[in-house]
Structure 1
Amino acid sequence: MKNIYITDLDHTFLRTDLSISDFSKAAWNAMALDSIATIATARTYKKTVEFLKNVDINAPMILLDGALIATVDKKIIGTKLIAKDAADAIIDEGAKFGIYPFVLSLRDKNLNEAFLYSSTLNEHQKSVLFRYKGDDNLSECKDIRAMQENFKIVYFGDEILLRELAKHLESIFGDMFKYILAPEAYVGCYFLTLIHKDADKSHGIKSVSEHMGFDLSKLTVFGDNYNDVGMFEIAGTSVAVANAQEGVKKLAKIVLEHTNDQDAVAHYLERLKNVR
């Protein structure tokens, strides 16, 4: 039975400048020759494929926090979507707090995606959007409404506001959704993500496991933030990079001495190779 390696992207496998070093690519690709290798990320299909140029991925990818499971060649293995009426209800409740979300939606079955955002933005949201400038899936909305099929709804803002909003939304919608509240390292704020109740990275891994028939005890996962905790709970080996959130490090079996900017995942894989 092959070993399985699944890594988060942002602040784990990706460097802070969103690059992947030649060293990391070489170490990953060498591992993938005789192992199952894929990623689990909050990113969309399009951005993920852009980042992973010349990186070998030989299993379905877990995308959008588990809302989408798809192969590199666009075969959809599974989706966990939020319907339009439910998404619009979330938007309306957030508006009571003076904040409007980003809505990531599915345009068609060819994995064309939409990134919807309101013309009313806070400074944190403006900073996030600046990082996406030039993307062709951005769509500004004066009166933001969801599409028919939505992957996730994401708020960026101050921690206090988002904690209040999360509490409010959970009091209304209960366990209809999964709520992820965590620090956002790129722009220095917090984010609140709402996804389908069965759409997280751990559910995504289980879907990939069922699709490929691998043993979770032989799975190693790498992560840094609270949306990676579900992976840590089901994997045989959970690995946190040195720059991971402190609460995440406490839940990992292994904490690396290197950060994402120091090619932490690659160094770990190289050590494994030298042990064999």
Structure 2
Amino acid sequence: MNNNTFVVSDLDGTLLNNDGLLSKHSRTKLQRLINNGLNFTVASARSLHTISYILQDLQLSLPVICLNGAYISDYNTKKHLVINEIQQEVRQGIRGYVEKHNVGVFISTHHNGEDFLFYNQINNGGLQWYYEDRIASNDQRLKKTISIKELRDHYITCFTFIDKEKKLLQIKRELLDQFQDKVEIHLFENLYSRGWYWLTAHDYRATKDRAIQQLQDEFGHQDKELIVFGDHINDIKMFKIAHQCIAVQNADERLKKHAHEVIGTNMEDSVANYLEAMFRPQ
């Protein structure tokens, strides 16, 4: 195994199949590569809870990047090593927007060593889908809140608005106009509930590229070749810092423009197959 590489993969649409699962084929190949010394981890918009639920018994030797870089977390102990909380000015502004327009939102927080996922109301099909998805996965973080003001003592790391694209574009414009470089915004369609879009708001420090660089510094991988895999525009920043940027065939065309190579789709175990071929003993 070539230990001069550092590999980071996105999850949804990249490493996972269209059911949001890591196939047995990919799991077996990845575990074999990791056991043989591959420096491998994942960077995802998902929470630590959900990453753990999906990867299950896959044994990672490196921390994982959660909520697009809001957290860097120890996969084995389930403790956060880095928490990039949203600044008070931004969270207060978003609270005012939510109350003024009476919109439903999910709020990711951390308090007294625990993660929480609060929601204020379920008033459309997209929010309902996410609520039921969290119930189905036995997500103990899920809690009802009357007001965001109740969370004043929590680290707030992400606001997730779920609605139709047109409405979220309006929210996106207003948040960027108000907070500019203090917030990191992502707008994307839910791959598993088509027609409903998600708008996530993080602190400006919560990006995959920043998190990867922190991991490289912390674990002494600065001089290693960085290889990244992705499918969506929230992967562009990590593509820009990598030595090798690899997009799956089903990736957004805007991301493909930044890729050095395009491989098969996420339904073909393409990431695991590519890594196996790359690190096959000569």
TM-score by length of 1: 0.91
**In the alignment, which residue of structure 2 is the partner of 1:6?**
8
**In the alignment, which residue of structure 1 is the partner of 2:112?**
108
> 8 Å contact 2:158–2:201 — kept in the other structure?
yes
**In the alignment, which residue of structure 1 is the partner of 2:183?**
177
Structure-2 change in CA distance of 1:16 and 1:92 (3 Å) = same
10-19 vs 165-174, greater mean Cα deviation: 10-19
The answer to whether structure 1 residue 76 and structure 2 residue 80 are counterparts is yes
Instruction: State the Cα distance separating 1:31 from its structure 2 match.
Output: 2.1
Aligned AA (1:9): L
Structure 1 runs of 4+ aligned residues shifted over 6 Å read: none
Instruction: State the Cα distance separating 1:85 from its structure 2 match.
Output: 5.7
> 8 Å contact 1:2–1:34 — kept in the other structure?
no
Percentage of identical aligned residues: 26
**In the alignment, which residue of structure 2 is the partner of 1:128?**
130
From 230, 234, 244, give the equivalent of 2:241: 234
From 21, 24, 28, give the equivalent of 2:23: 21
From 92, 100, 103, give the equivalent of 1:99: 103
Aligned AA (1:6): V
197-206 vs 138-147, greater mean Cα deviation: 138-147
Aligned AA (2:214): S
**In the alignment, which residue of structure 2 is the partner of 1:157?**
163
Instruction: State the Cα distance separating 1:126 from its structure 2 match.
Output: 1.0
- Ranges in structure 2 where 5+ consecutive residues have no aligned partner: none
> 8 Å contact 2:104–2:162 — kept in the other structure?
no
> 8 Å contact 1:127–1:187 — kept in the other structure?
yes
Name the SS of the counterpart of 1:51 in structure 2: helix
Name the SS of the counterpart of 1:151 in structure 2: strand
Whole-Å Cα distance in 2 between the matches of residues 253 and 216 of structure 1? Answer: 20
Whole-Å Cα distance in 2 between the matches of residues 138 and 101 of structure 1? Answer: 12
Q: Deviations 1:150-193 (Å, cap 9, x if unpaired)?
A: 11111111111111111111111121111112222111222111
Aligned AA (1:44): S
Instruction: State the Cα distance separating 1:67 from its structure 2 match.
Output: 0.8
Whole-Å Cα distance in 2 between the matches of residues 97 and 125 of structure 1? Answer: 16
Structure-2 change in CA distance of 1:97 and 1:245 (3 Å) = farther
**In the alignment, which residue of structure 2 is the partner of 1:53?**
56
Q: CA RMSD in A?
A: 1.9
> 8 Å contact 1:69–1:79 — kept in the other structure?
yes
Aligned AA (1:244): A
Whole-Å Cα distance in 1 between the matches of residues 167 and 223 of structure 2? Answer: 38
From 160, 166, 174, give the equivalent of 1:168: 174
Structure-2 change in CA distance of 1:98 and 1:5 (3 Å) = same
- Ranges in structure 1 where 5+ consecutive residues have no aligned partner: none
**In the alignment, which residue of structure 1 is the partner of 2:93?**
89
Would you say how many aligned residue pairs link Structure 1 and Structure 2?
273
From 214, 222, 228, give the equivalent of 2:221: 214
